[in-house]
Protein backbone atom coordinates (compact mmCIF):
# COMPACT_ATOMS: atom_id res chain seq x y z
CA UNK A 1 0.00 0.00 0.00
CA UNK A 2 1.39 3.39 -1.00
CA UNK A 3 1.48 6.11 1.64
CA UNK A 4 -1.13 8.85 1.34
CA UNK A 5 0.33 11.90 -0.43
CA UNK A 6 -0.78 14.68 1.93
CA UNK A 7 -2.75 15.08 5.15
CA UNK A 8 -4.25 18.05 6.98
CA UNK A 9 -5.82 17.90 10.44
CA UNK A 10 -7.81 20.41 12.48
CA UNK A 11 -9.40 19.97 15.90
CA UNK A 12 -12.82 21.64 15.86
CA UNK A 13 -14.91 22.47 18.90
CA UNK A 14 -18.24 24.10 18.10
CA UNK A 15 -21.51 25.05 19.69
CA UNK A 16 -24.16 27.73 19.60
CA UNK A 17 -23.10 29.32 22.90
CA UNK A 18 -19.35 28.61 22.61
CA UNK A 19 -17.10 31.47 23.69
CA UNK A 20 -13.60 30.88 22.25
CA UNK A 21 -11.79 32.51 25.18
CA UNK A 22 -13.38 29.97 27.56
CA UNK A 23 -12.07 27.07 25.43
CA UNK A 24 -8.62 28.67 25.25
CA UNK A 25 -8.56 28.94 29.05
CA UNK A 26 -9.71 25.33 29.52
CA UNK A 27 -7.26 23.82 27.01
CA UNK A 28 -4.30 26.14 27.67
CA UNK A 29 -3.63 26.91 24.00
CA UNK A 30 -4.48 29.66 21.52
CA UNK A 31 -6.59 28.52 18.56
CA UNK A 32 -5.56 28.78 14.93
CA UNK A 33 -8.99 30.30 14.29
CA UNK A 34 -12.05 31.12 16.36
CA UNK A 35 -15.43 32.77 16.03
CA UNK A 36 -18.35 33.72 18.26
CA UNK A 37 -22.01 33.47 17.33
CA UNK A 38 -23.07 36.74 15.71
CA UNK A 39 -19.53 37.71 14.70
CA UNK A 40 -19.16 39.27 11.25
CA UNK A 41 -17.22 36.93 8.93
CA UNK A 42 -15.78 37.65 5.48
CA UNK A 43 -15.24 34.82 2.95
CA UNK A 44 -11.56 34.36 2.00
CA UNK A 45 -12.20 33.75 -1.68
CA UNK A 46 -15.45 35.63 -2.25
CA UNK A 47 -15.20 38.57 0.14
CA UNK A 48 -18.86 37.94 0.98
CA UNK A 49 -19.94 39.03 4.44
CA UNK A 50 -22.02 36.82 6.70
CA UNK A 51 -22.80 36.37 10.37
CA UNK A 52 -21.46 33.38 12.35
CA UNK A 53 -24.37 31.12 13.31
CA UNK A 54 -22.43 29.38 16.09
CA UNK A 55 -19.21 29.62 18.05
CA UNK A 56 -16.12 27.67 16.98
CA UNK A 57 -12.59 27.06 18.26
CA UNK A 58 -10.12 25.42 15.83
CA UNK A 59 -6.52 24.25 16.14
CA UNK A 60 -4.73 23.10 12.98
CA UNK A 61 -1.64 20.91 12.76
CA UNK A 62 1.09 21.48 10.21
CA UNK A 63 0.29 19.93 6.81
CA UNK A 64 2.25 16.72 6.19
CA UNK A 65 3.71 15.71 2.80
CA UNK A 66 3.79 12.74 2.52
CA UNK A 67 0.79 12.27 4.77
CA UNK A 68 1.38 11.52 8.45
CA UNK A 69 -1.86 11.71 10.38
CA UNK A 70 -0.24 10.16 13.46
CA UNK A 71 2.24 13.05 13.67
CA UNK A 72 -0.59 15.56 13.32
CA UNK A 73 -2.74 13.93 16.01
CA UNK A 74 0.26 13.83 18.35
CA UNK A 75 1.06 17.49 17.57
CA UNK A 76 -2.47 18.65 18.39
CA UNK A 77 -2.96 16.49 21.52
CA UNK A 78 0.44 17.49 22.94
CA UNK A 79 -0.45 21.21 22.76
CA UNK A 80 -3.62 20.85 24.84
CA UNK A 81 -4.72 20.02 28.37
CA UNK A 82 -4.12 16.40 29.36
CA UNK A 83 -6.94 16.58 31.96
CA UNK A 84 -9.49 14.03 30.70
CA UNK A 85 -12.21 15.54 32.93
CA UNK A 86 -11.77 18.83 31.07
CA UNK A 87 -12.41 17.02 27.78
CA UNK A 88 -15.47 15.23 29.16
CA UNK A 89 -16.89 18.59 30.25
CA UNK A 90 -16.22 20.04 26.79
CA UNK A 91 -17.81 17.06 25.02
CA UNK A 92 -20.89 17.33 27.24
CA UNK A 93 -21.41 20.90 26.03
CA UNK A 94 -20.00 21.08 22.50
CA UNK A 95 -19.41 19.07 19.34
CA UNK A 96 -15.76 18.03 19.04
CA UNK A 97 -14.06 16.40 16.09
CA UNK A 98 -10.70 16.04 14.42
CA UNK A 99 -11.40 17.03 10.83
CA UNK A 100 -8.84 15.42 8.50
CA UNK A 101 -8.23 15.90 4.81
CA UNK A 102 -6.54 12.99 3.05
CA UNK A 103 -5.20 13.92 -0.39
CA UNK A 104 -4.29 11.18 -2.86
CA UNK A 105 -2.13 11.50 -5.97
CA UNK A 106 -2.65 7.89 -7.09
CA UNK A 107 -5.65 5.59 -7.16
CA UNK A 108 -4.34 3.34 -4.38
CA UNK A 109 -2.92 5.02 -1.29
CA UNK A 110 -3.48 4.32 2.39
CA UNK A 111 -2.83 5.43 5.93
CA UNK A 112 -2.77 3.91 9.41
CA UNK A 113 -3.72 5.50 12.72
CA UNK A 114 -1.93 4.10 15.76
CA UNK A 115 -3.81 2.50 18.64
CA UNK A 116 -2.20 5.10 20.96
CA UNK A 117 -3.71 7.96 18.95
CA UNK A 118 -7.10 6.26 18.62
CA UNK A 119 -7.13 5.82 22.41
CA UNK A 120 -6.15 9.48 22.96
CA UNK A 121 -8.99 10.65 20.71
CA UNK A 122 -11.47 8.28 22.35
CA UNK A 123 -10.55 9.31 25.90
CA UNK A 124 -11.18 12.93 24.94
CA UNK A 125 -14.46 12.11 23.15
CA UNK A 126 -13.07 13.49 19.88
CA UNK A 127 -14.77 12.10 16.77
CA UNK A 128 -12.55 11.37 13.79
CA UNK A 129 -13.88 12.94 10.57
CA UNK A 130 -12.17 12.03 7.30
CA UNK A 131 -12.55 13.77 3.94
CA UNK A 132 -10.77 11.76 1.24
CA UNK A 133 -9.81 13.50 -1.99
CA UNK A 134 -8.97 11.29 -4.96
CA UNK A 135 -6.35 12.08 -7.57
CA UNK A 136 -7.19 14.69 -10.19
CA UNK A 137 -7.68 13.24 -13.66
User: Looking at the predicted structure, is the pLDDT value of residue 2 above 80?
Assistant: no
**For 63, which DSSP code?**
P
Q: Nearest-CA neighbor of 18 among 52, 64, 61?
A: 52
User: Looking at the predicted structure, is the pLDDT value of residue 51 above 80?
Assistant: yes
In tens, the pLDDT along 65-111 reads: 999 999 999 999 999 999 999 999 999 999 999 999 999 998 888 89
Q: How do the domains of the chain map onto residue ranges? A: 2-133
Predicted local distance difference test score (pLDDT) of residue 137? 63
**For 27, which DSSP code?**
H
Pairing of strands 55-60, 2-3: unpaired
List beta partners, residue 33. 58
Report the largest interatomic distance among the alpha carbons of the chain, rounded to a whole angstrom.
47
Beta strands in 19-75 (DSSP E): 33-35, 40-42, 49-51, 55-60
Amino acid sequence: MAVISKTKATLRIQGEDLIPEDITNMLGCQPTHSQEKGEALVGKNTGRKREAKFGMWRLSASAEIPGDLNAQITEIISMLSQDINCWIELSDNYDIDLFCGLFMEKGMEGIDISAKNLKALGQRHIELSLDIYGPDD
